[in-house]
Structure 1
């Protein structure tokens, strides 16, 4: 009888300990499931550090040999203009001319045109001297005095500005985005009467570079959004 009581007591203590362990396990499991998902935004405006400037002009005529000589001379004049203004020769490239035979166009309405050939020539400046190129774009009318009319309006030959220094600002922007995410998580934890725990999962997000606006494409807006999961504790 005595042994039975001892065994019953041991069994009761064991069941009690088991119940405590199960309760703690459920509590721990529930706590592990408590988390908050937040996003942190970082934005920065930076000046473009690379520019691609296509100078496009057209030539009309009936004699291909004469057109060739004219284009060769025009290319020389444009190149000299750019070099005089501070553009390096290695930053200048001359594309092959695009020739359209107006008389050979099947659906052309140019039967009454006095010219047979329409030639498009493009000289491209690719440079890191963004400010210099911008000033030259404003001065390109000077080429009219030298007998060359640089034309625009063709979307294929728009000026393009780029920012290539992303790697140099990535750490700073990630740090700022992470800080902003943590501030949001701390506010959520405070409102829910919890303590903010460790990071459970983090996603850096993708960097995007866009024009600040349509009027200032030479100023870029860099943006990144990080997504972070924090655990919440009582």
Structure 2
């Protein structure tokens, strides 16, 4: 085979392959255009059915034994207060005692030395209450300053609110979002004078929980509000349909 014939053969094969590739791309492009992509929304308002309330109290004393005794007294006073407010004793959980040795630093400019002087022990204990009696615990948390009158310096954190049936809620929202997307696709196909074909692809978006009637922003990773008792859950469902 001469060099000219070989060159002509290579060019011919290249043209044939290019034609086949362009033809395949054109077919695929047309197939892609014969689809409808829609996004449906699943949305549900709900009220939290579980509350978690935490806080802590502490005592400081130069003598460790005295610090323990004072902390025990505060714990019993706080426990009695909570039980008298109707909170189940089993829901009241105290952590182990944290002990911290405190020092005060002093720098002497004449000697250029720093000395650390022991100032006492600080003992801290955390309180954790987890309950389904949301309204009751919420009410007590708002009035906890009353316990200060008994000499207990209790530092309260804001209650956190949760929902124990998120799995069921999410399932119903997926169904709602899917139905919403399908109805949108059917409407688009109807207005375009065509009919809806089979489902080609379904993608679930991020599950979000925000406070009801709040300006809370959504996040790409998914928001999970714990500070609001009344919440709104949302999820998006994207569907790709063929059209006939």
| TM-score grouping bracket, smaller chain normalisation | 0.7 to 0.9
Question: Contact 2:58 / 2:71 at 8 angstroms: preserved in 1?
Answer: no
Candidates 130, 134, 140, aligned match of 1:136: 140
User: Which residue of 2 is the match for residue 79 of structure 1?
Assistant: 79
Q: CA deviation at 1:131?
A: 0.7
The residue matched to 1:151 in structure 2 has which SS?
strand
User: Which residue of 1 is the match for residue 223 of structure 2?
Assistant: none
User: Which residue of 1 is the match for residue 160 of structure 2?
Assistant: 160
Q: CA deviation at 1:222?
A: 1.2
User: Which residue of 1 is the match for residue 65 of structure 2?
Assistant: 65
Q: What is the TM-score with the length of structure 2 in the denominator?
A: 0.71
Post-superposition CA distance 1:135-165 (Å, at most 9, x none): 001111120122112125xxxx543211121
Q: Distance in 1 between matches of 2:105 and 2:200?
A: 65
5+ residue gaps in structure 1?
Answer: 1-25
Q: Is 1:116 the counterpart of 2:120 in the alignment?
A: yes
Structure with the higher strand share, 1 or 2: 2
Post-superposition CA distance 1:52-88 (Å, at most 9, x none): 1112122121111011011112111111222222222
Q: CA deviation at 1:130?
A: 1.0
User: Which residue of 1 is the match for residue 150 of structure 2?
Assistant: 146
Q: CA deviation at 1:185?
A: 1.2
Q: Distance in 1 between matches of 2:81 and 2:188?
A: 62
Post-superposition CA distance 1:39-61 (Å, at most 9, x none): 11112121111111112122121
Correspondence 1:28-67 to 2 at 5 A = 34-67=34-67
Candidates 219, 225, 230, aligned match of 1:219: 230
Residues 227, 96 of structure 1: alpha-carbon distance in 2 compared, 3 angstrom cutoff: same
Q: Distance in 2 between matches of 1:32 and 1:62?
A: 78
- After alignment, is 35-44 or 187-196 more displaced? 187-196
Q: What is the TM-score with the length of structure 1 in the denominator?
A: 0.73
The residue matched to 2:139 in structure 1 has which SS?
helix
Q: Distance in 1 between matches of 2:146 and 2:32?
A: 71
The runs of at least 4 consecutive aligned structure 1 residues that moved more than 6 Å come to: 104-107
5+ residue gaps in structure 2?
Answer: 1-25, 108-113, 217-225
- After alignment, is 93-102 or 166-175 more displaced? 166-175
Q: CA deviation at 1:208?
A: 2.8
Question: Contact 1:75 / 1:123 at 8 angstroms: preserved in 2?
Answer: no
The residue matched to 2:202 in structure 1 has which SS?
strand
Question: Contact 1:163 / 1:220 at 8 angstroms: preserved in 2?
Answer: no
Post-superposition CA distance 1:182-232 (Å, at most 9, x none): 232123323433211232222344433333347961122211111211111
